[in-house]
């Protein structure tokens, strides 16, 4: 599923900024928070796609 692959990519890309934010880098913290919001939205999309697949299977 394309949406799930995007979610995994966002998580991997956020790792460096999260580590820098833990070290006190404020700009990295801002980037990490934005990426976390993107991850949240991508996760919601995955949930919706899975629900669509489940519901499509029930109507058959």
Mean pLDDT of 28-44: 97
8 A C-beta contact, residue 14 and residue 36: yes
Q: Which domain holds residue 46?
A: 2-58
Is the sign of the CA dihedral 35, 14, 49, 44 positive or negative?
A: negative
pLDDT (tens digit per residue) in 39-57? 999 999 999 999 999 999 8
- What number is the average pLDDT over the span 35-40? 97
Predicted local distance difference test score (pLDDT) of residue 60: 54
Q: What percent of the chain is modeled with pLDDT above 90?
A: 92
Total tally of structural domains belonging to the chain: 1
**Do the beta carbons of residue 1 and residue 46 sit within 8 Å?**
yes
């Amino acid at each position: 599923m394309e949406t799930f692959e995007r979610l995994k990519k966002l998580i991997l890309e956020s790792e460096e900024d999260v580590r820098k934010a833990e070290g006190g880098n404020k700009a990295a913290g801002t980037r990490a928070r934005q990426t976390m919001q993107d991850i949240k939205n991508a996760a919601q999309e995955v949930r919706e796609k899975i629900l669509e697949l489940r519901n499509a299977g029930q109507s058959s």
